[in-house]
Structure 1
Amino acid sequence: MYPESFKPLMCHEPPALTSEIMDQLFNIRLSSVGSTKRSAEERVVLFWRYYLQNVEEEEEGPSKLAKMLGFSTGATVITPVRFSPQPSIEFLHEQSVSPSRRLPMANTCINCLKLPLLETYDQFKESMDFALGNTQGFGRE
């Protein structure tokens, strides 16, 4: 008699992606406290969070956040069973010395986004925008 009353119980409606949801979704794997790697990683984590907020404010924000999730996990929405393993962020220390390889990488089998260690937010933004703008997304587009 009242199908709309049962819709939330029977049909999954993925939440709209926001910068806060994306930030909470990823487990950030930092190096040991006090290590030389840790300070560079913490700088990039700030870039990551600022980038998420900036993307959310853009006109194409929701679709770009979905593309970021797809780049990292292969899924453009948060599924009802969440993710296994939990999405994570790691850092590309070995690539920070090579200027030609300053792009983020992802391993969708283990839901891992690997961020390059860049010096400025502008470099980070350019790197992320280039990677997201030039990925095929498993041919779904």
Structure 2
Amino acid sequence: SHIIDVIECKTFEDLLATTQPLEEYLANAGCLRPLRRLEDKNLLVDDILMFQVLHRVRGPFERFRDGLRTLGVLDKIKGHPESFRPLLCWSPTMLTADLVDSLFTINLSPVGSNRRHAEEVGTQKLGTILAFATGANTVPPIGFFPQPSIEFLHQEQDTATPSKLPIANTCINCLKLPLHTSYRAFQENMDFALGNTHGFGMVKFLIVSHY
């Protein structure tokens, strides 16, 4: 905030009024310099940045460096910087459904209550979705082979209208999802498909009858 206050000064008088309450901070930071004109604010900002970014953290950084020298860790970092980069440097991570799911804790109502029943309606559909895609409403002891997968239904050039309903290929455990412009339309079509498909032979009939 000190830097922003100095940068936003429009006149030399504003600069003096802004820096006067900061004299103790500037003195401790080694940034106290005589100001003779408005343009001197740029030099002052450079001094403050140098203190905040380098000088203020130099001591802790040097102690950290000395600690890394223990057992030759610093030499290993210098010799293999890319291997240590994920451990020492932050990098943006692409959000995934699993990552977002791990960030939240679900707080459900007491077991047996009406609220709990309403809250678990979504989880009760998971078995139905799994059965729709694979033919099994629970995970088999040996798992699935092939691994269940999801694809998306796009409008083909030789098709007049894209499918509004999901399609499953249980032979390869593949669930093909339609693309909708709203979540409500997607949910309604998913609920219709899951509620009216009760076997392997029903998928094609369901799609034809829906249209």
Q: Specify the TM-score bucket, using the shorter chain as the normaliser.
A: 0.5 to 0.7
SS at structure 2 position matched to 1:89:
strand
TM normalised by structure 1 equals 0.52
Which residue does 2:191 correspond to in 1? 129
Note if 1:112 corresponds to 2:152: no
| Aligned pairs, number | 87
Q: State the shift of 1:57 in Å.
A: 3.3
Counterpart position of 2:154:
93
The one-character-per-residue Cα deviations of 1:64-122 (angstroms, maximum 9, x if unpaired) are 211110000001100111100000000111269626x3000000000000000111100
Q: What amino acid is aligned across from residue 161 of structure 2 in structure 1?
A: S
Q: Kindly report structure 1 stretches of 4+ aligned residues shifted beyond 2 Å.
A: 56-62, 94-97
1:79 aligns with 2:140: yes
Q: Which of 1 and 2 has greater Rg?
A: 2
CA distance in structure 2 between the aligned counterparts of 1:60 and 1:125, rounded to whole angstroms: 11
Specify the alignment match of 1:21 in structure 2: none
Matching residue of 2:91 = none
Which residue identity does 1:75 align to in structure 2?
Answer: A
Q: Which one of the candidate residues 65, 69, 86 is aligned to 2:130?
A: 69
- The structure with higher relative contact order (CA 8 Å, sep 6+) is 1
RMSD, aligned α-carbons = 3.3
How high is the sequence identity, in percent, across the aligned residues?
57
User: 5+ residue gaps in structure 1?
Assistant: 1-44
**Which whole-Å CA distance do the structure 2 matches of 1:137 and 1:69 have between them?**
12
Counterpart secondary structure, 1:103: coil
**SS at structure 1 position matched to 2:121:** coil
Q: Matched residues in 2 for 1:113 and 1:125: separation?
A: 15
Q: Distance in 1 between matches of 2:199 and 2:119?
A: 23
2-structure distance, mates of 1:60, 1:71: 15
- Whose helix proportion is higher, 1 or 2? 2
> What is the TM-score normalised by the length of structure 2?
0.36
